[in-house]
Structure 1
Amino acid sequence: MEFRTLLLLTLLGLSAVEKALGQRGDTDIREWLTAKEELIKKFEDKAKDVERWQSDVEALEARLNATVDEVTRQKAEVEKLNKENEGLRMRLNATEKEIDELKQSSGKGSPQIAFSVSLANFGEIYKGPCTDKVLIFKRIFSNTGDGYDSDTGVFTAPVSGLYYFSFSTYGYNTHVVGAILIKNGVHQISTFDYPSDDGSDGSSNSAVLQLAAGDKVHMELWDDGRVFDNLNGHTTFSGFLIFTV
């Protein structure tokens, strides 16, 4: 706008000077003025073009600045996402490593130990009363880990851990019916029933014991006690490792 104003003022000033200095005829003056007016109009049109171009340049510059700002913002966002992805990748790698370690430890540190036996492996057995009160269970349903000895009736812990034991006893009313779970010579839990008029008695019990490797667990009769078993498996003894410690 300043350029256009300055241009017009300059042309008007030249026109005034020429009018003052030149003494021409009316026709020459009109032609001269017409030419000047046309020249002024051309300059005005050029000035308008310049202003329009300047406006376009300013608009383009504004859009360019906005684009630069948007690119800068997006770049910052991408960097932020890259950092978050890197953190997620690190946590994922750590989780995968923990899973692999758990798989390896579960395969190496959890031995499979379990047994289940009953007193009679054929016919019928009445055990007791007797001096040697250890119950030797001969019928073996399972003995994974070979912790149970069918010759002695003793389970020996292959590894240290928590073990679950359960047993059942059955007998008739002529004697005390029941048995005692013994760990390293010490009574733990038992079943017991006095002689009665009901003909027969059966009961069961269970416990979780912490054993060190080499600890021994077995079953014994009560004094003057008796139990009965046949292939129906009335008098039984079972145990398994829950987890190592």
Structure 2
Amino acid sequence: MRRAAVCLALLLCLLWTGAQGEDGGGTGKKEGEFDIQGAHDQSSSQTQMRTDIWAELKKLRDMAIEHRIKIQRLEQDNTVLETKMSSSEKEVEEVKRENAAFESRMSSSEKEVEEVKRENADLLARVTASEKKSTAFESRMSSSEKEVEELQRENADRPQVAFSAGLTNAGAVGPFTTATTLKFSKVFTNIGQAYNPTTGIFTAPVRGVYYFRFNAWETRLTWTSIELFHNDKRIMVISDLHDGTGHVSASSAMVLQLEKGDVVYIVMPSSFGVYDDVFNRIIFSGFLLFPQ
């Protein structure tokens, strides 16, 4: 609008200046002389000039209107742009806030990651220590397993000898007129089959140290006595007298070093008796302590 007004003012000035120039140029008449033809021509020229001025003014008005419309559109566009800019600024602020919150969370996450890393490092250290302990334990286990296997092989190679037998279920045994080897016929255990219930004799299957235990029991009013023999040598004698108070008993044990093939057995001397029944009152037992 301003530009159009300025242009209009300049145009009017130019037109006025041109009109003045045409009046001052004259027709060559002296002052006071009246030229009818000149007056007519001047009137026609002025009319044409006014027509041209109005045409120019109309053009300027149209241009001013067009510029005003453009300016209004520009103002509307500026308003829309300013609205968009304001919205964009709000969005930018929101993005900034979100970025700040995200950075805060990132910082917190980084701290958590560092904490997790430290925990993982501690866990790794403990796992490494546990693995070392496990390796040492496995080594000891392997060594122990080897020792157990060695002992198993030794035990497998080592003879297993053990027996335990009761005398009889018949009750009273003896007295006899001669010394008699007692046959313990009720076999409870006979590992290695070294004891013979038919003869009552134990035969050492290997050279070694053996443990033997035996006892006597009697209910009759008489002496009771039994003897432990190693081969043909009497090793121990146990005896007791029944004095009428119910029963008598005696027991003992012996550790013997035997050669392979040596025998051990129980002998009841003549004129003595023992008593056994289903309650297994008299037992003869023995086992190998260790071979030599």
Residues 173, 194 of structure 1: 8 Å contact kept? no
Q: 2:215 is matched with which residue?
A: 168
Q: 1:106 is matched with which residue?
A: 155
Q: 1:177 is matched with which residue?
A: 224
Equivalent AA in structure 2 for residue 118 of structure 1: G
Displacement of 1:97 in angstroms is 6.3
Equivalent AA in structure 2 for residue 106 of structure 1: N
Structure with bigger RCO (C-alpha 8 Å, 6+ apart)? 1
| Higher relative strand content | 1
Displacement of 1:100 in angstroms is 4.6
Residues 174, 271 of structure 2: 8 Å contact kept? no
Q: Using the alignment, how far apart are the partners of 1:97 and 1:230 within structure 2?
A: 49
**For 1:143-158, what aligned pairs fall within 5 Å after superposition?**
143-158=190-205
* 1:227 alignment partner, one of 248, 253, 274: 274
CA 1:94–1:236 in structure 2 vs 1: closer, same or farther (change >3 Å)? closer
Displacement of 1:99 in angstroms is 5.7
User: What TM-score comes out, normalization by structure 2 length?
Assistant: 0.48
| Higher relative helix content | 2
Equivalent AA in structure 1 for residue 181 of structure 2: V
Q: Using the alignment, how far apart are the partners of 2:190 and 2:146 within structure 1?
A: 35
Q: 2:164 is matched with which residue?
A: 116
Count, aligned residues: 154
Q: Which moved more, 1:155-164 or 1:186-195?
A: 186-195
Q: Using the alignment, how far apart are the partners of 1:123 and 1:176 within structure 2?
A: 19
Secondary structure, aligned partner of 1:220:
strand
CA 1:195–1:107 in structure 2 vs 1: closer, same or farther (change >3 Å)? same
Secondary structure, aligned partner of 2:182:
coil
| Structure having the higher Rg | 2
CA 1:124–1:172 in structure 2 vs 1: closer, same or farther (change >3 Å)? closer
Displacement of 1:112 in angstroms is 1.2
Q: CA RMSD in A?
A: 2.3
Q: Using the alignment, how far apart are the partners of 1:198 and 1:163 within structure 2?
A: 36
Structure 1 residues not aligned, in runs of 5+: 1-87
Moved over 4 A (4+): 91-100
**For 1:1-245, what aligned pairs fall within 5 Å after superposition?**
100-108=149-157, 110-120=158-168, 122-245=169-292
